[in-house]
Amino acid sequence: MEQKVYYDSMDGLKLCGVLTIPERKPVGFVLMAHGITTNKDESGIYIRIANRLCREGYEVLRFDFRAHGESEGKQREMTVSGEIMDLEAGVEQLLNRGAQKIGIVVSSFGGGPCVMYTHKNNDKVGCVVLLQPVLDYIKTFLEPELPWAKQSFNEKGYENLRKKGYLLLDGIFEIGAPLMEEFKEIRPYEHMKFIKCPVLTIHGDEDTKVPYDVALKYHKCNKKSEFMTIKGADHGFGEENEGKVTDAIVNWLNKHLRELDLEDT
């Protein structure tokens, strides 16, 4: 069963999410968080993963970050710190529904806020799956190494930032000055080593948006960390790899979240 829900972020912005609820008592609770410029559906893959997890017995909440999808907020006011508050609000929703600890599945830009939230809330997070995570804002955006960000973070983009107050990412998303300042100061990869729960990182080795080598370098935050390379895959993995990625997510949650949930109930 799917149920659309609306709830407040920690600073009062109204967020929108979709709960996927199993017919029986949940074996665990999973929060799914998306990347920048997209939404809670992640072009449909999040819907399919949520349905698969529900068949496995998990209750899943996938939600729109502020300034995305059906959630409130202006694009140019969106920040990493704001997304951390959105993650916190999602976790609290699931804790209020009976969760012991939360499994988090997060993609791309959502990776940084997830890593920083988990560092400060190890007691609430049972395990994490990072899908092609953005862990270094300088290499991804400010001094981009890959083609995607180079199309936006260039002389024309910075001129637009000076004149209009925002830089246009992908031609559709307004990145404002507050987020640009965070890019200079925040380093999500530094938070990885403080995470205590099992972390699985999945990344394509031909990603043209988010540096593969950064994710590989910093994935080993503890002895319960693993890294999965999707050979030849670009950002988003592609339809041909969706089944492989979904299986890896399900297996990770079954190993590290389902057992934890059964022990604690």
What is the CATH number for 87? 3.40.50.1820
Half-sphere exposure of 184 (CA within 13 A, CB side): 4
Q: What is the pLDDT of residue 264?
A: 45
* pTM as predicted: 0.95
Q: Is residue 156, in this structure, part of any structural domain at all?
A: no
Q: Please say if the pLDDT value at position 263 is more than 50.
A: no
Structure tokens at 39: 């939404």
Q: Is residue 161, in this structure, part of any structural domain at all?
A: no
Q: Is residue 80, in this structure, part of any structural domain at all?
A: yes
Instruction: State how far the Cα of 160 lies from the Cα of 39, in Å rounded to an integer.
Output: 25
Q: Which long-range contacts link 254-258 to residues 24+ away (Cβ below 8 Å)?
A: 254/56, 255/198, 256/103, 256/126, 256/127, 256/197, 256/198, 256/224, 257/28, 257/30, 257/58, 257/101, 257/103, 257/126, 257/127, 258/27, 258/28, 258/56, 258/57, 258/58
Q: Please say if the pLDDT value at position 208 is more than 80.
A: yes
Report the DSSP pairing between strands 58-63 and 14-20: antiparallel
Q: pLDDT for 123-171, tens place per residue?
A: 999 999 999 999 999 999 999 999 999 999 999 999 999 999 999 999 9
Q: Is residue 112, in this structure, part of any structural domain at all?
A: yes
129 by DSSP, 3-state: which? strand
Q: Is residue 264, in this structure, part of any structural domain at all?
A: no
Q: For the residues 213-229, what does the mean pLDDT come to?
A: 96
Provide the sign of the torsion angle of the four alpha carbons 49, 132, 226, 240, taken in this order.
positive
Q: Give yes or no for a contact between 122 and 221, defined as CB atoms under 8 angstroms apart.
A: no
Residue-range definition of the domain harbouring residue 219 = 2-136+188-258
CA distances 11 to 104, 139, 174, Å, are 21, 30, 21
Instruction: State how far the Cα of 104 lies from the Cα of 4, in Å rounded to an integer.
Output: 19
Beta strands in 143-198 (DSSP E): 166-169, 173-176
Structure tokens at 67: 């300034």
Instruction: State how far the Cα of 117 lies from the Cα of 81, in Å rounded to an integer.
Output: 10
Q: What is the pLDDT of residue 258?
A: 84
Average pLDDT for the chain: 95
What's the farthest any 2 CA atoms get from each other in the chain?
57
**If pLDDT is split at 50, 70 and 90, which confidence band does 67 have?**
very high
Q: What is the pLDDT of residue 257?
A: 94
Q: Is residue 238, in this structure, part of any structural domain at all?
A: yes
Q: For the residues 219-229, what does the mean pLDDT come to?
A: 95
Q: Is residue 166, in this structure, part of any structural domain at all?
A: no
Q: pLDDT for 69-123, tens place per residue?
A: 999 999 999 999 999 999 999 999 999 999 999 999 999 999 999 999 999 999 9
Q: What is the pLDDT of residue 96?
A: 97
Instruction: State how far the Cα of 35 lies from the Cα of 209, in Å rounded to an integer.
Output: 12
Q: Please say if the pLDDT value at position 35 is more than 70.
A: yes
Q: Is residue 51, in this structure, part of any structural domain at all?
A: yes
Total domains in the chain come to 1
Q: What is the pLDDT of residue 259?
A: 55
